[in-house]
Structure 1
Amino acid sequence: MHTTVNAMRHLDSLRIIAACAVVVLHYSDYFKELPIGRIVGAHVWHFNLFVDLFFVVSGFVIARQYFDDVGDRPAIGRFLWRRIARIYPLHLATLTFYIGIALALSFGMARTDNPARYSFSDLPAQLLLLHAFVGERLTFNFPSWSLSAEMFCYLLFPLIVALTLRRKTLIIAFVALSAFANSVWVATMDTLPWSEWINEGGAFRAVPAFSLGIACSVYRDQIAGWPATRGALILALGAFILFGSWLTPMAALVAVYVIAVLAIQLDCSGRDTLLSTLKLDHLAPLTYSTYMLHMPVATVIITLDSRLVLFASPDAKLILAPVSIIVLGIASVLSYRYFETPARRYLTDLYDRRFAPAVAAPPAVVAPITQREIA
């Protein structure tokens, strides 16, 4: 049976799984002096590539919602503002939190083992969402580099749509050429594999994944007709989680792309699987807040509390991991309900009131977008 309204069950489930995987990756680093921390850290490095899953899903969702609505300058302006309204408030809030810590460090009110993380010289790039281009290093709330990469993709989106409207197959060429260009750069400049680009080049790392998502949206009717094995997605996802650390970075990236396309195929064809029946998609709206808040929570709970006498023993510090996860869950719900959603609505309404004569906002599309927007 084909679904018509809830067409994102598998992708939404993957989003929250991916966010949790990133949390595991980053939290394991806090316990690297312990045997269990070293074991976990050695086997989850590939979880960083779940960010590329976000890029694919973002391209797919954005294309579904906006492909026919970026045809002129007013519409493009509204599209970009809506994206800023979704991602920027929480970025600014978490950045402000770390600026406070940086000021405390500057005045000798606190100490840190990683002072480079609080470099004020990186603030302009952070504030302008340019830190996936010119970020000096991973600073402040460092997972936010992906927001900079996303914003670059949003700026490219109207151009990609214009190319695709001229000839549908050009989107396939764009996916291939963007991946090829990254590979050529790696070969000629002797850099890290582009699957590892973050603060320098992270924006270009996102382009093949984002455009792949767009391509899947453009060809979703054809994709829906592909033969599919119900267990393929679960098998691929489970194999990647358990054994992905054995792969090379580029092979792991390809595996993430395959997982994303398998989920898209299932959603396009309306099939149910074990993953969709788990109802994890109901947690998908918390993906962005979980992703953006997990490091501030760790800073407060793990970094600060581990310096208390109670946790002077490294083994005792392990209790802070589950505590952080519980606090993160609560903080994510509160952030989504009482900060992100009101801020997005306020900023969107503000823009619409100012520019309503130039571009009308169809009220029917507002509700689905609030449940599907990716950061």
Structure 2
Amino acid sequence: MRQNYRLFGVWRLLAAMLVMAYHFSHYAPNPAPIVEWFEHMLPLLDMFFIMSGFLIFEHYGRMENTSDNYVLFLIKRLSRLYPLHLITLLFFVAFGVFVHLGLLHSQGADTRYDFSALPANLLLIQAWGVDSELTFNYVSWSLSGEWFAYLIFPVVLFAFARGQAMGLALLVAAIIVALEIADNGATQQHDLWFETKLWAAYRVAADFSFGAFLCVLTRQLKVPPRCQWLAWGMLGCVFAAMFSDANIYLTLAMFGVAIVLAALSDRTEKDETAWLEPVMPVAVVSFGVYLWHPVVELFAYSLIWKRIIGIDDPVLFWIYMPLPMVITIGVALVSARRFERPVGKWIETSLTGLAKQRVLSRPQV
């Protein structure tokens, strides 16, 4: 099976663009109606994590579940995630320093730029329930959740080894039951498990495990005729479900069907998704678009739109919006090539060397 799924890439890019537009729309004159419209599509975030579980299991699902392999797996994943997290976090740390020095002003001085939350952000545990607010790069909760999913990957491998697809299905069910119990037993008001960001690590664990289950399921299916268009059609049904406020489990199940069809569409001999190839250089940095857009938002909206342009004109706002979106894509492309890849390679090489030294230093039996 091809390891580079084009529909996955395009759909993740679409989700990243919609999330970016959602956050930018908060600066619109009378933003409430448009913000509410975008909020119907928030389950798209779960699509990120389901696809991530699918792809990680595709690459590592046959990995022997040993401590040495686990360490190397974490090194590879950390080297992929952390450079992007670090560089975007540093922008907000610098901004926070200026805010606390009184050189810049922000309503979130004591919450979003609370430096007591910086260690949790550096350790990627900010979405594990350790903070009461989203801090610094507020969308990095997703990276924190993704890191948690990587840490529990041996559990996913164990479930698969014990029960194949059924084992993974039981794992997903167990996580969801635990989340539902936690929701019902909470003593204070908080987001539901499928909406929360402060406790997103456990939400991501459910999505990630579901993606692994879909990967195993896909291996057992034949490619139906016109599979690509069935996948697009099912994605359209998912959007219809989101805008009709359908039950979250129905929506996630439909996402599962769409993702399976999207994966199968890249198994056809005729290479049906080849027409998407020109989009792939941008699609591969979709997570970069997602992580970088709050940084661009600082300059394009908090500074230029609000303080320099300062015109409360809805027409001008929508004319202006494509500019920071295009800039975000450009920044993500440059960041991936000039910073994330070389720094990630250095992290992987350095940590892998340390891991191998640890193995060699073990006493021989």
Match of 1:179 in 2: 176
CA positional deviation for 1:349: 1.6
Distance 2:339 2:153 in 1: 27
Deviations 1:95-141 (A, max 9, x none): 11111111111111111133322112221211111111122212111
Match of 1:216 in 2: 214
Match of 1:15 in 2: 12
Deviations 1:199-242 (A, max 9, x none): 1x211111121011111222332133567754332123234446
Deviations 1:132-179 (A, max 9, x none): 112221211111001111111101111220232133121111112212
Q: Which runs of 5+ in 1 are unaligned?
A: 361-375
Is 1:327 equivalent to 2:306 in the alignment? Answer: no
Distance 2:225 2:177 in 1: 29
Alignment of 1:100-139 (within 5 A): 100-115=94-109, 116-133=111-128, 134-139=130-135
Alignment of 1:46-65 (within 5 A): 46-65=40-59
Match of 1:234 in 2: 232
Distance 2:54 2:308 in 1: 49
AA of the residue aligned to 1:198: K
CA positional deviation for 1:183: 2.0
Distance 1:110 1:47 in 2: 33
SS in 1 for 2:285: helix
Match of 1:188 in 2: 185
Q: CA 1:223/1:183 → structure 2, altered by over 3 Å: closer, same or farther?
A: farther
Match of 1:369 in 2: none
Q: CA 1:253/1:164 → structure 2, altered by over 3 Å: closer, same or farther?
A: closer
Is 1:152 equivalent to 2:126 in the alignment? Answer: no
Q: CA 1:357/1:113 → structure 2, altered by over 3 Å: closer, same or farther?
A: closer
Is 1:261 equivalent to 2:255 in the alignment? Answer: no
Computed over aligned residues only, the root mean square deviation of the Cα atoms, in angstroms, reads 2.6
Match of 1:278 in 2: 276
Distance 2:64 2:358 in 1: 13
Greater CA deviation, 294-303 or 184-193? 184-193
Match of 1:350 in 2: 350
Q: Which runs of 5+ in 2 are unaligned?
A: 361-365
Match of 2:39 in 1: 45
Q: CA 1:334/1:7 → structure 2, altered by over 3 Å: closer, same or farther?
A: closer
SS in 1 for 2:65: coil
Match of 1:366 in 2: none
Match of 1:94 in 2: 88
CA positional deviation for 1:5: 3.8
SS in 1 for 2:197: coil
Checking the alignment, whether the CA contact within 8 Å between 2:6 and 2:276 is kept in structure 1 is no
Q: CA 1:178/1:276 → structure 2, altered by over 3 Å: closer, same or farther?
A: farther
Match of 2:363 in 1: none
AA of the residue aligned to 1:90: L
Deviations 1:47-86 (A, max 9, x none): 3222211111111111111123352212111110111111
Q: CA 1:143/1:257 → structure 2, altered by over 3 Å: closer, same or farther?
A: farther
TM-score (norm 2): 0.87
Distance 1:159 1:335 in 2: 33
Checking the alignment, whether the CA contact within 8 Å between 2:218 and 2:260 is kept in structure 1 is no
Checking the alignment, whether the CA contact within 8 Å between 2:223 and 2:265 is kept in structure 1 is no
SS in 2 for 1:231: helix
Q: CA 1:354/1:186 → structure 2, altered by over 3 Å: closer, same or farther?
A: closer
